[in-house]
Amino acid sequence: MQRAAPIFSPNQNTMSLRALIVDDEADARENLRMMLEEHCPEVQIVGQAGSAAEARQKINELQPNALFLDIKMPGEDGFQLLASIAELDLPVVFTTAYDEYALKAFKENALDYLEKPIDHEELQRAVKKMAKAAGELNGSQPSAIAALMKDPASPLSSRVAIPGRDGLVLLKQEDIMYLEAADSYTTVHLKDGKRSVSSKHIRVFEDNLDPKTFFRVHKSYIINLAHLKGFSRTEGNMAMLDNGAMIPVSRRRLPDFLGLINTF
């Protein structure tokens, strides 16, 4: 599953939210959408889903950074959906007409709980919490390490931070051969044959890696151009790397890729 890169509102410290509304009742989804448009214009509604299965698909396609999630839905309920995407750490506000779910909602680490019919002032307070949480999860407050990594004079400037569940691993850019997506995880393949697994989606890396060095050749792969050895059409469109790895180049990315390597 994908996750959107941070988007910040101008002249403020809060993050612009890309929210997905998940509710099995179309009227409830539309009502919440209209309330958000009227009272919370900083929220961009990227889509709606009527079930847990559809929500997972929309999360993967639309990359929201926040969820408004109904609890009581046929089949998988909101809690089951949240458990299935726990690795994404998306800020969630639960919505429901059944207040007996409130305690369980907070035990599931929901940021807030809105009881239907939703009050617009409570909605605004919930949105502020979501924006703050989304910013924290995506690193909106620059850390000392992040600042050093962007400083060309720093010894950390040539490193790539690989976020995992337990912290960060700092890798030298030249040691990275390619990155491979697997659902919501990313495997970083190194030139010594070792691998480093991150809990972040490959889109997070695409948005933060130096585009002069790293190129996304496929929805599932980013290669380090410094290790690009050649290009082959023998077994399909494949980027050949120094270590012998053959990485597929998608048709959509092929023109940009060929244009790029022809400038070398």
Q: Rounded to whole angstroms, how far apart are CA atoms 97 and 69? A: 12
**At 97, is the pLDDT very low, low, confident or very high (cuts 50, 70, 90)?**
confident
Q: What is the pLDDT of residue 168?
A: 66
Nearest Cα to Cα of residue 172 among 152, 191, 145, 151: 191
| Residue 180 belongs to a domain | yes
Instruction: Please tell me whether residues 21 and 103 are part of one structural domain.
Output: yes
Residue 144 lies in a domain: no
> Does residue 160 sit in the same domain as residue 117?
no
As a whole number, mean pLDDT of residues 176-180 equals: 95
Choosing from 70, 104, 137, the residue where a domain stops is: 137
Q: For residue 117, is it within any domain? A: yes
Strands (E), 25-88: 43-49, 66-70
User: pLDDT tier at 15 (50, 70, 90 boundaries)?
Assistant: low
Predicted pLDDT at 166: 53
Among 137, 171, 203, residue at a domain's last position? 137
In a domain, 179, yes or no: yes
CA Rg, the chain, in Å? 21
Residue 146 lies in a domain: no
Whether 113 is in a domain gets the answer yes
Which SS3 state, helix, strand or coil, does residue 173 take? Answer: helix
More confident residue, 151 or 116: 116
Total structural domains within the chain: 2
Mean residue pLDDT of the chain comes to 80
Residue 14 CA to residue 135 CA, distance in Å, equals: 7
Looking at residue 205, its pLDDT comes to 83
Do 130 and 160 share a domain, yes or no? Answer: no
Q: For residues 253 and 218, is the Cβ–Cβ distance under 8 A?
A: yes
Tell me whether residue 12 is in a domain. Answer: no
Distance from C-alpha of 219 to C-alpha of 180, rounded to nearest angstrom: 9
37 and 73 share a domain?
A: yes
Q: Tokens 């010894």 sit at which residue?
A: 155
User: What is the CATH classification number for the domain harbouring 103?
Assistant: 3.40.50.2300
* Together in a domain, 38 and 132: yes
Query: Are 200 and 115 found together in one domain?
Result: no
**Does some domain include residue 86?**
yes
Residue 74 pLDDT > 80, yes or no? yes
pLDDT tens figures, 119-147: 999 999 999 888 877 765 554 434 444 44
What is the pTM (predicted TM-score) of this model?
0.50
The range of the structural domain enclosing residue 203 comes to 154-261
Q: Give yes or no: residues 122 and 198 share one domain.
A: no
Same domain, 123 and 204: no
pLDDT tens digits for range 194-219: 998 887 778 878 877 888 899 999 99
Q: Hey, how many other C-beta atoms are within 10 angstroms of the C-beta on 174?
A: 13
Query: Which of 137, 171, 191 is the endpoint of a domain?
Result: 137
Is the same domain home to 198 and 257?
yes
